[in-house]
């Protein structure tokens, strides 16, 4: 799958729409009911602060950030995607086939600095999108009571819009995990149709976010107001700065291995430094030294056995140096003459 370096993804837009919801409601782009649903969405979504900082990372930092944020839920989703798809087909009443998988579409939106991307799990032969999701079985009651999480609804609107489809089926599986073994205990499918009014709200939110990014106002946020996502990107950037760009791996053993590697490199540098100093020392061993003092300088004359100057000319130069006057120079200064 392509990475989302300096691209806004469909799964990241919900939090941005939530932050802009008051303006969307005022501009009559969303209803009061939608506004309330947006406000009720969880605080673990991307914010303009967290997304803005993530979009400022260079490519190598972006890769390390993805490793840093790889959590259990994301791992479970990747590992279970095939099983959730099979579960969907086992429960479907009529036959259908997959025609495409992991299809990516990007869109350039006028007045938005960043491309917008939607990746879909599967396209079916009836021209519908199939999106597979998992949740911990302990949270399954929220699916039963509240239905499709609204941030998933927003993600599907982005997918339908960019892929030019009318229907998306979101199949959510409640998963129990024991000793890293996953088991589907319950599942449910939600059918979502394209909502053109929500698409206009997504567009307006992206343009607003881009304008805020350009003005540099995204990062003015009190510590008390920061969400989990905000603190996560701050922690990553602090570690990057504090470790001189030491890659921040999610695995502790990988961190220690990288630290050991850097220590070995430092030892090699120290060894090389000693070798250079010894070479300099050896190259200077045939030089003769003479030290004198004048009113202004401590004079150090160095001349090698291979010097093309004779002894008389060297002595004359030393005598001239003793008589030198160069402004108001204190006597602690050293003048070195090399022949």
Measured in degrees and rounded to the nearest 5, phi and psi for residue 106 equal -110, 150
**CA gap 273, 113 in Å, rounded:** 48
- Segment 243-261 shows an average pLDDT of 56
Give the Cβ contact number of residue 227 at 10 Å: 17
**CA gap 174, 57 in Å, rounded:** 34
Token representation of residue 72: 């259990």
Instruction: Give the confidence band of 272 by pLDDT, cuts at 50, 70, 90.
Output: confident
Q: pLDDT per residue over 77-104, tens digit each? A: 778 889 999 999 999 888 889 999 999 9
**CA gap 209, 218 in Å, rounded:** 8
Write the CA distances from 40 to 18, 34, 44, 140, 210, integer angstroms.
9, 10, 12, 18, 24
Decide if 199 is inside a domain: yes
Helices marked H in the chain: 13-19, 21-26, 32-39, 48-55, 59-69, 72-91, 140-146, 150-163, 196-215, 228-242, 252-283, 311-322
Query: In terms of domains, do 216 and 261 share one?
Result: no
**Does residue 292 register a pLDDT over 80?**
no
**CA gap 66, 47 in Å, rounded:** 17
Instruction: Give the confidence band of 248 by pLDDT, cuts at 50, 70, 90.
Output: very low
Query: In terms of domains, do 100 and 205 share one?
Result: yes
Query: In terms of domains, do 160 and 195 share one?
Result: yes
- Segment 61-76 shows an average pLDDT of 78
**Does residue 308 register a pLDDT over 60?**
no
Query: In terms of domains, do 49 and 173 share one?
Result: yes
Query: In terms of domains, do 94 and 43 share one?
Result: yes
- Segment 243-271 shows an average pLDDT of 63
Instruction: Give the confidence band of 73 by pLDDT, cuts at 50, 70, 90.
Output: low
DSSP letter at 114?
S
Query: In terms of domains, do 173 and 255 share one?
Result: no
Write the CA distances from 303 to 272, 310, 334, integer angstroms.
28, 10, 17
Decide if 3 is inside a domain: no
- Segment 129-150 shows an average pLDDT of 92
Show the domain range for 259: 251-280
Query: In terms of domains, do 274 and 303 share one?
Result: no
Query: In terms of domains, do 119 and 265 share one?
Result: no
Q: Which residues of 289-313 are buried (b: 16+ CB within 10 A; e: fewer)?
A: eeeeebebbebebebeeeeeeeeee
If you average pLDDT over every residue of the chain, what do you get? 81
What confidence score (pLDDT) does residue 202 get? 96
Token representation of residue 75: 């791992």
Q: pLDDT per residue over 16-60, tens digit each? A: 999 999 999 999 999 999 999 999 998 889 999 999 999 998 888
Decide if 169 is inside a domain: yes
Q: Sign of the CA dihedral 156, 160, 163, 168?
A: positive
- Looking at the structure of the chain, the number of domains it has is 3
Q: Which residues contact 129 (CB under 8 A, 6 or more apart)?
A: 120, 121, 122, 123, 156, 159, 160, 163, 165, 167, 168, 169
Query: In terms of domains, do 276 and 179 share one?
Result: no
**227 in Cβ contact with 50 (< 8 Å):** yes
Instruction: Give the confidence band of 219 by pLDDT, cuts at 50, 70, 90.
Output: confident
> Which single residue is written with the structure tokens 């590697």?
261
CATH number at residue 69: 3.90.320.10
Query: In terms of domains, do 136 and 235 share one?
Result: yes
**Does residue 203 register a pLDDT over 70?**
yes
């Amino acid at each position: 799958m392509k990475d989302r370096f300096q691209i806004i993804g469909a799964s990241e837009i919900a939090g941005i729409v939530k932050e802009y919801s008051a303006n969307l409601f005022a501009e009559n782009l969303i209803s009061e009911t939608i506004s309330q649903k947006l406000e009720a969405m969880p605080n673990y979504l991307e914010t303009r602060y967290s997304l803005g900082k993530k979009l400022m990372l260079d490519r190598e930092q972006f890769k390390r950030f993805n490793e840093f944020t790889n959590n259990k839920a994301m791992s479970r989703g990747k590992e279970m995607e095939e099983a959730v798809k099979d579960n969907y087909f086992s429960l479907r009443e009529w036959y259908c086939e997959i025609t495409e998988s992991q299809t990516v579409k990007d869109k350039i939106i006028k007045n938005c600095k960043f491309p917008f991307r939607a990746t879909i799990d599967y396209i079916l032969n009836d021209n519908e999108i199939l999106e597979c999701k998992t949740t911990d079985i302990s949270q399954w009651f929220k699916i039963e009571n509240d239905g499709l999480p609204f941030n998933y609804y927003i993600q599907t609107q982005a997918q339908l819009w960019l892929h030019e489809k009318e229907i998306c089926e979101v199949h959510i599986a409640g998963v129990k995990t024991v000793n890293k073994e996953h088991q589907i205990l319950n599942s449910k499918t939600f059918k979502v149709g394209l909502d053109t009014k929500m698409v206009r709200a997504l567009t307006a939110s992206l343009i607003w976010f881009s304008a805020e990014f350009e003005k540099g106002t995204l990062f003015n946020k009190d510590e008390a107001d920061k969400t989990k996502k905000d603190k996560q990107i701050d922690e990553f950037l602090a570690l990057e700065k504090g470790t001189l760009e030491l890659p921040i791996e999610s695995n502790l053993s990988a961190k220690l291995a990288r630290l050991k590697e850097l220590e070995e490199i430092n030892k090699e540098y120290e060894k090389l430094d000693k070798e250079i100093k010894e070479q300099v020392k050896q190259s200077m061993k045939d030089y003769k030294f003479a030290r004198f003092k004048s009113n202004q300088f401590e004079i150090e004359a160095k001349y090698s056995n291979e010097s093309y100057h004779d002894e008389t000319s060297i002595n004359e130069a030393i005598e001239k140096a003793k008589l030198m006057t160069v402004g108001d120079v204190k006597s602690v200064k050293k003048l070195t003459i090399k022949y």
